Amino acid sequence: MITNRIGLLMAAVALAGVTGCATKNYVRNQTAPLVDHTNQLDEKTADNNRQIHDVNDRAQAGIQQAQGAADTATQNAQSASKAAGDAETSANDAVHRADSLDSVVKGLDNYKSMANVAVTFGFDKAALTKDDRAQLDSFAGQLGSAKSYILEVTGGTDSTGPAEYNYQLSQRRADAVVQYLASKYNVPAHRFYLIGIGKDKEVAPNNTAEGRKQNRRVEIQLLSNLSGGDQSTTPVASNEGLSK
């Protein structure tokens, strides 16, 4: 009897052990797919996040590139507007230079051209050469006997380079002539009228080397008052009011 009870008890314990193992295996089998599914969701979430960041990075790069292009376009438009304004200013300056002597000399119609000379310069140069000084010396020999005269000094350039730079270069060339005549022959400042015309008035075609050389010149014209009275006005020794 006791032996039977012990047997039953041992059988119950064994059955409980078998049932426990079976339950653990069931739980393990049920949770494994869940874990796998969760891992898959995490990977998909991470992948989606990477794609979102990638799209965002490309979008930001596109926005920056578009902004850069817009800024460049704005700068180009501003540069074009400034260039147009500079061109208009230069054109107006050229008109003023063209009739400048008539506007500053009272009774210009009473003046007659008595003599003239032209000296030429090297490319982008404003210094007188030995030959230039010799020509000016010969020309200045006529000033001693001239009465009530003015000297129209017109500087020019060839067509190479920007218009505004050429106006300044032509002015420096005219200044070199004036300084030479004033210092060596004591020509009073009020006798000089300077005009820097840049490349606006060519004396020869600019499509040849010889033509460009002739355009890199300063022309000096001796004008004498036929009425005998000196009607010159305030000197324009630096082309005042006529050029920049």
Measured CA angle at 133 (ends 203, 178), to 5 deg = 75
Question: Which superfamily does 99-225 belong to?
Answer: OmpA-like domain (3.30.1330.60)
pLDDT at 64 over 70: yes
Query: Is 237 within 8 Å of 189 (Cβ atoms)?
Result: yes
pLDDT at 94 over 70: no
Looking at residue 98, its pLDDT comes to 42
Looking at residue 132, its pLDDT comes to 95
Q: Which residues of 167-206 are buried (b: 16+ CB within 10 A; e: fewer)?
A: bbbbbebbbbbbebbbeeeebeeebbbbbbbbbbebeeee
Q: Which backbone phi and psi does 75 adopt, to 5 degrees?
A: -65, -40
pLDDT at 131 over 90: yes
Give the tens place of pLDDT for each residue, 195-207: 888 888 888 998 9
**CA-based radius of gyration for the chain:** 48
Looking at residue 22, its pLDDT comes to 53
Looking at residue 35, its pLDDT comes to 58
pLDDT at 14 over 60: no
pLDDT at 2 over 90: no
Mean pLDDT of 112-120: 91
Rounded Cα distance between 235 and 193, Å, is: 7
Mean pLDDT of 77-106: 55
Top-ranked range on mean pLDDT: pick from 90-99, 102-111, 140-149: 140-149
Looking at residue 68, its pLDDT comes to 74
**Biggest distance spanned by C-alpha atoms of the chain:** 168
Helix (H) or strand (E) holding 138: helix 130-140
Of the listed ranges 25-29, 140-144, 149-153, the one predicted with least confidence: 25-29
Looking at residue 96, its pLDDT comes to 43
Q: Is 113 helix (H, G, I), strand (E, B) or coil?
A: strand
Looking at residue 79, its pLDDT comes to 66
Looking at residue 237, its pLDDT comes to 41
Mean pLDDT of the chain: 74
Mean pLDDT of 44-68: 71
Query: Is 231 within 8 Å of 106 (Cβ atoms)?
Result: yes
Mean pLDDT of 73-81: 67
Rounded Cα distance between 216 and 121, Å, is: 5
The pairing of beta strand 111-120 with beta strand 192-196: unpaired
pLDDT at 241 over 50: no
pLDDT at 152 over 70: yes
* Alpha helix segments (H runs only) across 99-126: 100-104
Looking at residue 95, its pLDDT comes to 41
pLDDT at 85 over 90: no
Query: Is 118 within 8 Å of 150 (Cβ atoms)?
Result: no
Query: Is 185 within 8 Å of 232 (Cβ atoms)?
Result: no
Query: Is 127 within 8 Å of 218 (Cβ atoms)?
Result: no
Q: Which residues pair with 115 in a beta bridge?
A: 222
pLDDT at 60 over 60: yes
The pairing of beta strand 111-120 with beta strand 217-225: antiparallel
Overall size of the chain counted in residues: 244
pLDDT top residue among 151 and 74: 151
